[in-house]
């Protein structure tokens, strides 16, 4: 079950946008290594147009733990379509989010801030001056106004948006909302809301979020008067001339009054209330709902600002993973980049694609494009393409060459093979697996045998597999077996066109790359000659 934002922030000093983490291999759609390899944080930066911290945190959580349910993905897509087709509703949601954004920080300060005491001056964003009265009033206003605005908005029709609205409206029936709306009653053992006080005659103090309490001060003065009236003595005989002199007692009174009253309210009411709000499922659900609204608006802004063809992908059911893209572009590199070269890609019944080509030809960028598009599709977002049809992938894996560590005891080949084994065991017919080279760190003969065994295993499992390789002999082997589609990155006049075309590349252009970075044979000879 996905954690709410408040749950993920419980052990933090301050809410974090990137508090969510990918699940372990085989327990979520993507794992940590895939998350890092396909550069999901850069993908987040590209898609993120959310205004609130909650919206950004929900979007990041979606990318770390994407959906694997076709119905849930379609529901988010239908919500986006409703907003696009009903500008008035979209404008209302934008106003709700915009008004929530400045108040949101006050709510987090109430929940996570550090109290400085009577005379402390806040110098950091997480510090609270005084006894917290002002911060309490500002903080609770955030959720109270959010409920009012959602209740006043037009009722949506899509199931996803209706569910979000219902969760926010349901907050108005919760104990947390009642405590925020007030009054709060301080009893001997607990804090009570007005619903709990109905029919109760037990003594209670009504909490007022201000240090100046006329009733308390009047009660104090009344006690002094009663003492003077019923127990007359020289002590209480005050002449008009003595009144200015008596005012010198005001300052000592205030020095005692403020710490006692302010400290009591802070320790007995404000801090217990904020702890309750922080642990409240109703508050957590409402905060998540706001984040989900902002996430939907972020998807629309991403589409509006991408600067190229962008669509909501058609998500279909199939017995194994399928993908069909027309003019697909990278969501990060293609954003506001009209020169970016798009590619068509179809992986249907073949299930295996073998991509060859020289270095710096665009093989890795293309495969990251495929995985990033699959990921965006599974959070209900637009994808950069003219057309896109995909199935839901229960697992998205991307294996890239990894340097072995001193303590793993296996060397490069063993380290890579462990990762491949983990992917193989977790993959199903509905998985998407990208392998960037295979069986590195061993002889050519062993590399051929090991790679063939691995690819045959994935093929028999039935998932979609894309292999990036310079080993054209391996590709020749599978083509001869009638398995897999051979693709290559195109070069023209010794330069990459970044187009993916049919065929097998048998050159590496290693010398071209070496010359480009200034480390060719000629560069080495020139360096050695110059150093003598």
Mean predicted confidence (pLDDT) in 388-392: 97
Per residue in 72-106, pLDDT tens?
999 999 999 999 999 999 999 999 999 999 899 99
pLDDT the model gives residue 416 = 83
| pTM of the predicted model as reported, rounded to 2 decimal places | 0.88
Per residue in 107-141, pLDDT tens?
999 999 888 766 656 667 777 777 788 889 999 99
Q: Which helix (H) or strand (E) holds 495?
A: strand 495-502
pLDDT the model gives residue 448 = 85
Least-confidence region, from 216-230, 359-373, 470-484: 216-230
Is residue 523 very low, low, confident or very high in pLDDT (cuts 50, 70, 90)?
confident
Q: Which helix (H) or strand (E) holds 156?
A: none
Which of 7-21, 84-98, 412-426 shows the highest mean pLDDT?
A: 84-98
Mean pLDDT of the chain: 86
Which percentage of the chain shows pLDDT scores above 90?
A: 59
Task: Return the structure tokens found at 503.
Answer: 């065929």
Tell me the pairing of strands 387-391 and 323-328: antiparallel
Q: Which long-range contacts (CB under 8 A, 24 or more apart) does 437-445 make?
A: 437/400, 437/401, 437/468, 437/469, 437/470, 438/467, 438/469, 439/413, 440/401, 440/412, 440/413, 440/416, 441/404, 441/411, 441/412, 441/413, 441/416, 442/413
Is residue 406 very low, low, confident or very high in pLDDT (cuts 50, 70, 90)?
very low
CA dihedral over 425, 426, 432, 437, signed as positive or negative: negative
Q: How far apart are CA 146 and CA 151, in angstroms?
A: 9
3-state secondary structure of 388: strand
Q: Are 471 and 448 in contact (CB under 8 A)?
A: yes
Is residue 164 very low, low, confident or very high in pLDDT (cuts 50, 70, 90)?
very high
Task: Return the structure tokens found at 129.
Answer: 């001056």
Q: Write down the CATH number for the domain with range 306-531.
A: 3.40.50.300
Mean predicted confidence (pLDDT) in 332-359: 92
Q: How far apart are CA 332 and CA 384, in angstroms?
A: 10
Domain boundaries, the chain: 306-531
Alpha helices in 113-191 (DSSP H): 133-152, 159-170, 175-181
Helices 40-47 and 53-64: angle between axes, nearest 10 degrees: 140
231 pLDDT higher than 80: no
Alpha-carbon Rg for the chain in angstroms: 32
435 pLDDT higher than 70: yes
Per residue in 252-305, pLDDT tens?
544 555 567 677 778 889 999 999 999 999 999 999 999 999 999 999 999 999
pLDDT the model gives residue 246 = 47
E strands, 307-447, in order: 314-316, 323-328, 343-347, 352-356, 387-391, 396-399, 432-436
pLDDT the model gives residue 195 = 87
Per residue in 167-211, pLDDT tens?
999 999 999 999 999 898 888 788 988 888 887 777 778 888 765
E strands, 317-457, in order: 323-328, 343-347, 352-356, 387-391, 396-399, 432-436
Q: Any residues with CB less than 8 A from the CB of 396 and at least 6 apart, and which?
A: 29, 30, 34, 66, 371, 374, 375, 431, 432
Mean predicted confidence (pLDDT) in 320-325: 95
45 pLDDT higher than 80: yes
pLDDT the model gives residue 495 = 83
Is residue 471 very low, low, confident or very high in pLDDT (cuts 50, 70, 90)?
confident
Is residue 505 very low, low, confident or very high in pLDDT (cuts 50, 70, 90)?
confident
């Amino acid at each position: 079950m996905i954690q709410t934002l408040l749950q993920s922030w419980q052990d933090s000093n301050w809410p974090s946008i990137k508090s969510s983490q990918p699940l372990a291999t085989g327990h979520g759609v993507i794992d940590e290594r895939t998350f890092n390899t396909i550069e999901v944080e850069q993908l987040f930066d590209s898609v993120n147009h959310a205004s609130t911290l909650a919206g950004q945190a929900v979007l990041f959580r979606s990318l770390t733990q994407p959906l694997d349910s076709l119905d849930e993905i379609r529901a988010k897509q239908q919500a986006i379509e409703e907003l696009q087709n009903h500008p008035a509703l979209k404008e209302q949601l934008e106003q709700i989010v915009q008004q929530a954004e400045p108040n949101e920080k006050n709510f987090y300060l109430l929940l996570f801030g550090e109290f400085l005491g009577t005379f402390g001056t806040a110098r950091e964003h997480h510090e609270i001056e005084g006894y917290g009265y002002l911060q309490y009033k500002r903080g609770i206003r955030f959720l109270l106004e959010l409920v009012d605005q959602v209740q006043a908005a037009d009722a949506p029709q899509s199931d996803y948006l209706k569910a979000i609205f219902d969760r926010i409206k349901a907050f108005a029936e919760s104990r947390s909302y009642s405590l925020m709306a007030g009054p709060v009653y301080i009893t001997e053992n607990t804090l009570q809301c007005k619903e709990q006080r109905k029919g109760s005659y037990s003594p209670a103090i009504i909490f007022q979020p201000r240090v100046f309490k006329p009733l308390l001060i009047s009660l104090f003065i009344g006690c002094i008067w009663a003492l003077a009236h019923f127990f007359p003595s020289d002590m209480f005989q005050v002449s008009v001339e003595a009144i200015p002199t008596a005012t010198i007692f005001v300052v000592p009174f205030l020095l005692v009054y403020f710490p006692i009253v302010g400290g009591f309210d802070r320790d007995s009411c404000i801090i217990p209330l904020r702890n309750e709000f922080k642990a409240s499922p109703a508050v957590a659900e409402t905060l998540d709902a706001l984040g989900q609204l902002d996430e939907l608006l972020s998807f629309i802004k991403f589409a509006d600002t991408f600067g190229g063809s962008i669509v909501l992908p058609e998500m279909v059911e199939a017995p194994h993973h399928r993908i069909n893209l027309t003019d697909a572009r990278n969501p990060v590199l293609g954003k506001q980049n009209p020169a970016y070269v798009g590619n068509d890609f179809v992986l249907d019944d073949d299930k295996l694609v073998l991509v060859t080509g020289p270095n710096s030809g665009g093989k890795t960028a293309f495969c990251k494009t495929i995985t990033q598009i699959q990921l965006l599709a599974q959070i209900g977002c637009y994808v950069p393409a003219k057309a896109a049809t995909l199935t839901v992938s229960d697992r998205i894996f991307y294996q890239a060459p990894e340097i072995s560590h001193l303590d793993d005891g296996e060397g490069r080949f063993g380290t890579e093979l462990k990762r491949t084994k983990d992917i193989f065991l977790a993959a199903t017919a509905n998985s998407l697996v990208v392998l960037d080279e295979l069986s590195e760190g061993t002889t050519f003969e062993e590399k051929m045998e090991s790679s063939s065994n691995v690819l045959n295993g994935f093929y028999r499992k039935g998932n979609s597999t894309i292999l990036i390789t310079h080993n054209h002999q391996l590709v020749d082997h599978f083509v001869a077996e009638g398995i897999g589609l051979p693709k290559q990155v195109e070069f023209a006049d010794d330069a990459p066109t970044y187009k993916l075309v049919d065929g097998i590349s048998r050159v590496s252009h290693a010398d071209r790359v070496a010359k480009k970075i200034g480390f060719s044979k000629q560069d080495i000879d020139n360096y050695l000659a110059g150093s003598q």
